[in-house]
Structure 1
Amino acid sequence: MTRLYIIRHGETVWNAETRAQGAKNIHLNEKGLLQAQALAKRMKNYPVDGVYSSDLDRALSTAQAVAREFSHEVNIIPELREMSFGHWEGLTNHEIQEKHYEHYTIWRNKPQEAQIPGAEKLIDVQSRGLKALHRIVEANPDKNIAVVSHGTAIKAILLGLMNIDLSYFYRIRQDNACINIVEFREYGPVIVRMNDTAHLENML
């Protein structure tokens, strides 16, 4: 059985400002670096045979913090990167509502149907994410692997693993530096833990 620890990256300045990051390469802020360190210490409680990451720096820095605890190298997979939010990238949530109200309304109510100007569709993010995940599982039979990605991408992936429609996108929450544990058993993937942030409790 292969076990994946699917992890969201630590906080960035744009996270704190509620700006859409998407494919923009935004770094961890001071809090995010501390979150990554706390996450790395937490991961020492688990066996980790390998570490994979999105190619965006906020995920890569988080993955490197974990990898250092186990003396692993980070395997970079661009398909794990965040959904491209097109014309929304760099805008705050409030600015998006003001400037793109119609598309924002669809995104919030029917995310599976949203076509944000210049952006990816959620179904395409899910598709590339699931393919990347299954490649990791196939390459690491009976191993324990940490995979660092992004909030929107992870939510889409988790829904896909459970065969739940993307219309339920907002029923899942993914906080910065959270851990999700998925076991790939003979009969399919099993979600063992979701959005676990116990390692950050002393930072609140």
Structure 2
Amino acid sequence: MSATTSGSSAPSGKTGRKIVLWRHGQTAWNLERRFQGSTDIELTETGLAQARRASRLLAGLRPDAIVSSDLRRASATAAELASVTGLAVAHDEGLRETYAGEWQGLTHDEILAKHGEQYTAWKRGEPVRRGGGELETEVADRAAPVVLRHADRLPEGGTLVVVSHGGTIRTTIGRLLGLEPYYWEGLGGLSNCCWSVLGEGVRGWRLMEHNAGTLPEPVLGDDD
């Protein structure tokens, strides 16, 4: 589908801009496979080390701006890149992870035991308010406009780093690519402190890298 699908961004006429969507570092709840959602969990020492390593790499992209979720695991990750680049970080609650009500704080096994039917329906691609919380489309409704607003301020060829959360990043990518929500799950997850890169061409945004931990390489081939 093209990026002009309803709910996605129409081509702006600019090209060459990039959006790096960077997931936060490791937390204790990640290790325990607990659903974090909008719960404000701190990074572990390993998570901080991940953020420092990734920041040294991402600084090589010479970003023009950084915007982050205001939850501590994301803002602490963003702060590491800010310390390397000297850029200020804009914080926006619109980039928070999906609010999932009763699921928040539960382990994966506990979710299956207590909300198994709901979990199965969600995995089938049905619109589900997990734990009574947000729909994935509602997450995209609040997050994608934040990303686009900051991207619109970039110079020609500029780069924006967005520091957020796995679910929010996936739904935002799906929205910006113009994919129907059913197919967003096909993008797969992001590892802690890995990122995805969107590049803007004449027809809108396209996915250049996904779940990467190294800098993007130029595409040298017939598909570019």
TM-based fold match above 0.5: yes
**Match among 15, 19, 25 for residue 10 of structure 1:** 25
**Match among 106, 121, 130 for residue 106 of structure 1:** 121
Partner of 2:121: helix, strand, or coil?
helix
Q: Indicate whether 1:193 and 2:209 are aligned.
A: yes
Task: Give the aligned residue type for 1:174.
Answer: L
Partner of 1:180: helix, strand, or coil?
strand
CA distance in 1 between partners of 2:82 and 2:190 (Å): 21
Q: Indicate whether 1:54 and 2:69 are aligned.
A: yes
The superposition leaves residues 52-105 of structure 1 with CA deviations (integer Å, 9 ceiling, x where unpaired) of 100101010111101111111110011111110111000000001111111111
Partner of 1:145: helix, strand, or coil?
strand
In the TM superposition, residue 124 of structure 1 has moved relative to its aligned partner by 0.3
What are the within-5 Å matches in structure 2 for residues 123-202 of structure 1? 123-142=137-156, 143-171=158-186, 172-198=188-214
In the TM superposition, residue 47 of structure 1 has moved relative to its aligned partner by 1.1
**Match among 52, 76, 82 for residue 37 of structure 1:** 52
CA distance in 2 between partners of 1:133 and 1:86 (Å): 25
The superposition leaves residues 26-74 of structure 1 with CA deviations (integer Å, 9 ceiling, x where unpaired) of 0111111111011011112211111110010101011110111111111
CA distance in 2 between partners of 1:15 and 1:63 (Å): 18
Aligned to 1:116: 130
The superposition leaves residues 160-191 of structure 1 with CA deviations (integer Å, 9 ceiling, x where unpaired) of 12222222233222111112111223421121
Q: Indicate whether 1:25 and 2:40 are aligned.
A: yes
Gaps of 5+ in 2: 1-15, 216-224
Provide the TM-score with structure 1 as the length reference.
0.92
Aligned to 1:202: none
Task: Give the aligned residue type for 1:41.
Answer: R
CA distance in 2 between partners of 1:198 and 1:50 (Å): 19
Q: Of Structure 1 and Structure 2, which has the larger fraction of its residues in helix?
A: 1
CA distance in 2 between partners of 1:101 and 1:186 (Å): 44
Q: Indicate whether 1:96 and 2:111 are aligned.
A: yes
Provide the TM-score with structure 2 as the length reference.
0.84
CA distance in 2 between partners of 1:114 and 1:72 (Å): 38
CA-based RMSD: 1.4
Classify 1:54/1:71 alpha carbon distance in 2 versus 1 (closer, same or farther; 3 Å): same
